[in-house]
């Protein structure tokens, strides 16, 4: 598949080069006036320094004044963009993808790229073949914003966090704020515990996998799947900790493990975070991706929020956050977005919000997890098909269920009296992704089988995939 995705650029490093990043830098620089401030950072992968240097060269050749943050978590790049009043930012990263991948994320102003923006970068890269480095007309300055970011985080959560911590300790004892942190050898390594201790000086934090290493030797860079958080779960149980916190490779995603060592699903974490907002949600939009359980939209509605369904993908959720001036947003992969962050996301900010809420409730994370309504839903069921067959098969599903209500935000979602079915194109591989939800486990099984019977072109392979998840 192409490295040019709907939201960003990412793929095997064998398909990338410093020259490509230099061209992308020139292309991005042409979108702004000369002298504009442009923030750049990168993740811990071995190829990132060379790619970042080339990107900066391209930006400077187009007259950008580049603020180079070096190797930092993605949320710190976003923070620097708005705190330093920069016009744009870019991050050399492949996020949660394997070590032999890399990529590029960017925003111009506060807007993430559209699919047309990504295509424009591809066009410019091809058009500039065989053009070597040019004399720079912009400036390149290195900057360390670690203290600035930490002070901001403390100003947001510090006073409230310490007050609630004292309240929670009085009810549950010291163990309430014994926390295990797992940066997964990614960008929050050596940083997350430092900032958390700054915000919660009376809490106890233990870090695992805390050395930055772009080969991700201890676990997968993706924190969204419980099977990658085995050691975190074990450490939480061994230490009798209140919870575990895990980040992905570039630090914008976050996942949680409760005091029993159970990984929270995206629905459970989002349910708790919705409640952490209290009365703030009343009358405000909550943006969620289409793959979430209906239980989450129902929860937001009960709390007075206005749930809005959006296409899966960081840029799509963030764009809708900005358009609707939403208070909160969630993507099932572990991205959490906030109006207070100009529609952006930040894994460490979300961790602080979870800790403050947990302390204020004075209850265990296990107890809060169990408050979430039961969810009867399949994981993503992936069927590898050729790119040419994607849209045809989606159209076949639409035709097979013409009698049912359909939502076309991302692929097609078919609504049934007892649940729903979603089929969409994967943005990471040549595959179709399907997901189903029903009101009960038995109802889920019946729904999947009814669906397979009506779509014979997909049914047999899909049923095999589904049954493998039930084994």
Kindly state whether residue 1 falls inside one of the protein's structural domains.
Answer: no
Same domain, 154 and 32: no
Q: Is 70 exceeded by the pLDDT of residue 168?
A: no
The C-alpha atoms of residue 471 and residue 468 are separated, in whole angstroms, by: 5
Q: Is 80 exceeded by the pLDDT of residue 76?
A: yes
CATH number of the domain encompassing residue 89: 3.40.120.10
Each residue's pLDDT tens digit, 351-399: 999 999 998 888 899 999 999 999 999 999 999 888 778 888 899 999 9
Mean pLDDT of the region 91-97: 95
pLDDT on residue 469: 84
Q: Is 50 exceeded by the pLDDT of residue 339?
A: yes
CA-based nearest residue to 77, from 121, 42, 32: 42
The C-alpha atoms of residue 335 and residue 314 are separated, in whole angstroms, by: 7
Same domain, 277 and 391: no
| 233 classed as catalytic | no
Are 433 and 332 spatial neighbours (Cβ–Cβ below 8 Å)?
no
Q: Write the DSSP symbol of residue 438.
A: E
Same domain, 111 and 190: no
Cα dihedral 340, 342, 347, 348 in deg (nearest 10)? -50
Sequence-ordered list of residues with C-beta below 8 angstroms from that of 292, at least 6 positions apart, any chain: 266, 267, 270, 330, 332
pLDDT on residue 24: 97
Signed CA dihedral, 289, 291, 294, 296: sign only: negative
Mean pLDDT of the region 401-408: 94
pLDDT on residue 278: 84
pLDDT band at 279, cuts 50/70/90? Answer: confident
Kindly state whether residue 20 falls inside one of the protein's structural domains.
Answer: yes
pLDDT on residue 165: 61
Kindly state whether residue 189 falls inside one of the protein's structural domains.
Answer: yes
Full-model pTM? 0.94
CA-based nearest residue to 163, from 366, 368, 350, 362: 362
Are 191 and 73 spatial neighbours (Cβ–Cβ below 8 Å)?
yes
Sequence-ordered list of residues with C-beta below 8 angstroms from that of 92, at least 6 positions apart, any chain: 21, 40, 41, 42, 43, 48, 51, 52, 55, 102, 103, 104
pLDDT band at 160, cuts 50/70/90? Answer: low
pLDDT band at 7, cuts 50/70/90? Answer: confident
| Range with the poorest average pLDDT among 37-46, 292-301, 386-395 | 386-395
Q: How many structural domains is the chain composed of?
A: 3
Are 110 and 342 spatial neighbours (Cβ–Cβ below 8 Å)?
yes
Same domain, 358 and 226: yes
Same domain, 215 and 283: yes
Each residue's pLDDT tens digit, 428-460: 677 899 999 999 999 999 999 999 999 887 878
Strands 335-338 and 243-247: unpaired
Same domain, 240 and 275: yes
pLDDT on residue 419: 96
pLDDT on residue 171: 53
Same domain, 134 and 91: yes
The C-alpha atoms of residue 253 and residue 75 are separated, in whole angstroms, by: 10
pLDDT band at 468, cuts 50/70/90? Answer: confident
The C-alpha atoms of residue 168 and residue 365 are separated, in whole angstroms, by: 12
pLDDT on residue 99: 96
Q: Is 80 exceeded by the pLDDT of residue 87?
A: yes
Same domain, 257 and 395: no
Same domain, 307 and 430: no
Same domain, 90 and 210: no
Kindly state whether residue 347 falls inside one of the protein's structural domains.
Answer: yes
Query: CA distances (Å), 289 to each of 75, 409, 462, in order?
Result: 20, 10, 23
> Tokens 């929050």 belong to which residue?
188
Q: Domain boundary at 85, 119, 144, which?
A: 144
pLDDT band at 132, cuts 50/70/90? Answer: low
Q: Is 80 exceeded by the pLDDT of residue 273?
A: yes
CB atoms closer than 10 angstroms to residue 450 = 12
Residue 138 token pair: 């912009």
pLDDT on residue 174: 47
CA-based nearest residue to 438, from 397, 378, 381: 378
Residue 84: give the domain boundaries.
Answer: 9-144
Mean pLDDT of the region 220-249: 96
The C-alpha atoms of residue 448 and residue 435 are separated, in whole angstroms, by: 9
Q: What backbone torsions phi and psi does residue 261 show, to the nearest 5 degrees?
A: 85, 15
Kindly state whether residue 388 falls inside one of the protein's structural domains.
Answer: yes
Q: Is 80 exceeded by the pLDDT of residue 173?
A: no
pLDDT on residue 13: 96
Kindly state whether residue 418 falls inside one of the protein's structural domains.
Answer: yes
Q: Is 60 exceeded by the pLDDT of residue 33?
A: yes
Question: To the nearest whole number, what is the mean pLDDT of the chain?
Answer: 92
CATH number of the domain encompassing residue 397: 3.30.310.50
Kindly state whether residue 2 falls inside one of the protein's structural domains.
Answer: no
Catalytic hit among 2, 14, 17, 95: 95
Are 436 and 414 spatial neighbours (Cβ–Cβ below 8 Å)?
no
Kindly state whether residue 3 falls inside one of the protein's structural domains.
Answer: no
Q: Give me the sheet containing 204-207, strands edge to edge.
A: 204-207, 178-182, 243-247, 254-257
Question: Based on the number of CB atoms within 10 Å of its own CB, is 175 exposed (0-12), middle (13-18) or buried (19 or more)?
Answer: middle
Q: Domain boundary at 336, 370, 404, which?
A: 370
Q: Is 80 exceeded by the pLDDT of residue 94?
A: yes
Q: Domain boundary at 316, 347, 370, which?
A: 370
pLDDT on residue 163: 61
Same domain, 311 and 391: no
Same domain, 57 and 105: yes
The C-alpha atoms of residue 222 and residue 229 are separated, in whole angstroms, by: 9
The C-alpha atoms of residue 203 and residue 107 are separated, in whole angstroms, by: 35
The C-alpha atoms of residue 416 and residue 443 are separated, in whole angstroms, by: 11
Residue 48 token pair: 């990132």
pLDDT on residue 169: 55
Reported for 435-440, long-range contacts at CB under 8 A and 24+ positions apart, including other chains, are 435/291, 435/377, 435/378, 435/379, 435/380, 435/381, 436/377, 436/378, 436/381, 437/293, 437/294, 437/375, 437/376, 437/377, 437/378, 438/376, 438/377, 439/376, 440/376
Could you tell me the end-to-end alpha-carbon distance of the chain, in angstroms, rounded to an integer? 31
DSSP 16-84: --HHHHHHHHHHHHTTS-TT-EEEEEE-S-TTHHHHHHHHHHHHHHTT-EEEEEEE--HHHHHHHHHHT
Are 264 and 258 spatial neighbours (Cβ–Cβ below 8 Å)?
yes
Helix (H, G, I), strand (E, B) or coil at 359: helix
């Amino acid at each position: 598949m192409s490295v040019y995705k709907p939201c960003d650029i990412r793929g095997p490093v064998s398909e990338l080069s410093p020259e490509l990043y230099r061209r992308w830098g020139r292309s991005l620089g042409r979108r702004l006036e000369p002298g504009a401030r442009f923030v750049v950072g990168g993740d811990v992968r071995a190829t990132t320094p060379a790619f970042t240097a080339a990107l900066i060269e391209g930006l400077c050749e187009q007259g950008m004044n580049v603020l180079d943050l070096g190797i930092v978590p993605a949320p710190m790049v976003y923070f620097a963009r708005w705190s330093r009043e920069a016009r744009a930012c870019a991050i050399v990263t492949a996020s949660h993808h394997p070590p032999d991948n890399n990529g590029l994320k960017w925003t111009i102003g506060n807007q993430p790229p559209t699919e047309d923006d990504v295509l424009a970068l591809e066009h410019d890269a091809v058009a500039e073949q065989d053009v070597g480095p040019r004399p720079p007309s912009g400036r390149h300055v290195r900057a360390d914003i670690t203290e600035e970011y930490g002070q901001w985080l403390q100003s947001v959560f510090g006073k409230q966090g310490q007050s609630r911590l004292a309240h929670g300790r009085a009810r549950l004892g010291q163990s309430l704020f014994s926390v295990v942190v797992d940066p997964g050898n990614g960008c929050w390594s050596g940083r997350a515990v430092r900032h958390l201790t700054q915000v919660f000086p009376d809490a106890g934090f233990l870090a695992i996998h805390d050395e930055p290493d772009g080969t991700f030797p201890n676990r997968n860079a993706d924190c969204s799947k419980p099977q990658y958080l085995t050691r975190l779960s074990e450490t939480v149980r061994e230490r009798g900790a209140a919870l575990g916190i895990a980040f992905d490779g570039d630090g914008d995603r976050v996942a949680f493990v409760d005091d029993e060592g159970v990984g929270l699903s995206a629905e459970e974490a989002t349910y708790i975070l919705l409640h952490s907002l209290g009365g703030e949600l009343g009358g405000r939009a909550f943006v969620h991706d289409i793959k979430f359980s209906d239980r989450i939209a129902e929860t937001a509605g009960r709390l007075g929020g206005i749930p809005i369904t959006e296409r899966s993908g960081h840029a799509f959720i963030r764009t809708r956050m900005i358009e609707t001036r939403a208070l909160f947003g969630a993507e099932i992969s572990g991205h959490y977005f906030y109006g207070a962050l100009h529609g952006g996301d930040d894994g460490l900010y979300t961790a602080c919000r979870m800790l403050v809420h947990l302390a204020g409730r004075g209850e265990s994370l296990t107890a809060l997890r169990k408050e979430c309504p039961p969810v009867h839903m399949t994981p993503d069921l992936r069927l590898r098909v050729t790119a040419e067959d994607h849209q045809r098969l989606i159209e076949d599903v639409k035709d097979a269920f013409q009698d049912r209500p359909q939502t076309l935000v991302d692929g097609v979602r078919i609504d049934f009296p007892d649940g729903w079915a979603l089929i969409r194109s994967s943005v990471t591989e040549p595959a179709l992704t399907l997901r189903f939800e029903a009101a009960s486990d038995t109802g889920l099984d019946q729904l999947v089988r009814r669906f397979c019977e009506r779509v014979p072109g997909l049914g047999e392979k899909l049923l095999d995939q589904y049954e493998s998840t039930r084994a």
